Amino acid sequence: MWDKQSRFTALVEAYSADLHRYAQWLCGDPEVAEDVVQETFTRAWKSLDRLRDQRAAKAWLITTLRRENARRFSRKQLDYAEVPLDLVQAVTTYDTSSDAFALRNALAHLSEDYREPLLLQVIGGFSIDEIAEEMEITTGAATTRLFRARQKMKAVLEGDEEGSTEVTKL
């Protein structure tokens, strides 16, 4: 049986990178994202004894991170801003392929309602049912949002600008 510190270290090593990526898309700023991830793990440490199933750890951490991010916004009373273009431009330093840039740009400009289910699925590994539960929407709505988000991204890859502008908030 692992002690608490070993379990915590394993969680950090396994999931901190994905949590940071998820937080970057939520916050739009790598430094703020790191603060949110630090706070997430601080809360995770306090509640670690309640995590019975290690297989649920990633989803549990992402749920904690989403709450931590929401708390940050409510404390600072800031508006929920779109992901700034700075983020999109900053990351071109590691991958300059035009497809990757276009996709990140498209993702940054997706409505929050569409972007977040996609991030939960791709980064968090959530199923559609889990996304619906996490976002407190119906399974049908989660399916539609994912379908439309991916439809837009696919259109961007195929150079279909008209298709890429079809996604609007439900």
Partner 1 sequence: MSCLEIRRAVLADPKRICESAAEHLAECDGCREYVAAVRQANSSIEQAIRLPIPDGLGARILLRRSMVESRKKLAGAFGLAASIVLMFGLWFGQPGPTASAKTAIESYAANLIEVYRTTPLDDERLDAVLNKAGIELVKNVGVISAAKPCIIKDGTAAHLTVAGKNGAVTVIILPEMDVEEAVEVKTASGLIGKLMPCPQGSIAIIAAPNEPIEDVIARFEGAVNWI
Alpha-carbon span 8 to 45, nearest angstrom: 7
Q: What is the dihedral of CA 11, 2, 56, 47, to 10 degrees?
A: -80
Per-residue x/- mask for partner 1, residues 119 to 148, rule CB under 8 A?
x-xxx---xx-------------xxx-xx-
Contact call for residue 87 and partner 1 (CB under 8 A):
yes
The amino acid that residue 29 corresponds to is: D
Pick the piece of the chain touching partner 1 (CB under 8 A) from 20-28, 51-59, 159-167.
Answer: 20-28
CB 145 within 8 A of CB 114: yes
Alpha-carbon span 150 to 129, nearest angstrom: 17
Contact call for residue 109 and partner 1 (CB under 8 A):
no
Pick the piece of the chain touching partner 1 (CB under 8 A) from 51-59, 115-123, 162-170.
Answer: 115-123
Contact call for residue 65 and partner 1 (CB under 8 A):
no
Alpha-carbon span 166 to 66, nearest angstrom: 27
Phi, psi for residue 81 in degrees, rounded to 5: -80, 155
Alpha-carbon span 31 to 24, nearest angstrom: 8
Supply the minimum distance, in Å, between the C-beta of residue 104 and partner 1: 5
Q: Contacting partner 1 (CB under 8 A), which of 6, 56, 85, 95?
A: 95
Contact call for residue 107 and partner 1 (CB under 8 A):
yes
* Secondary structure (3-state) at 29: coil
Of 90, 82, 107, nearest to 157 by C-alpha is 107
With respect to partner 1, which residue has the nearer C-beta, 160 or 165? 160
Give the residues lining the site for partner 1 (CB under 8 A). Answer: 5, 8-9, 12-13, 16-17, 20-21, 24-25, 30, 34, 37-38, 41-43, 45-47, 64, 67, 70-71, 74-75, 87, 91, 94-95, 99-100, 103-104, 107, 118-119, 121-123, 127-128, 142-144, 146-147, 150-151, 153-154, 157
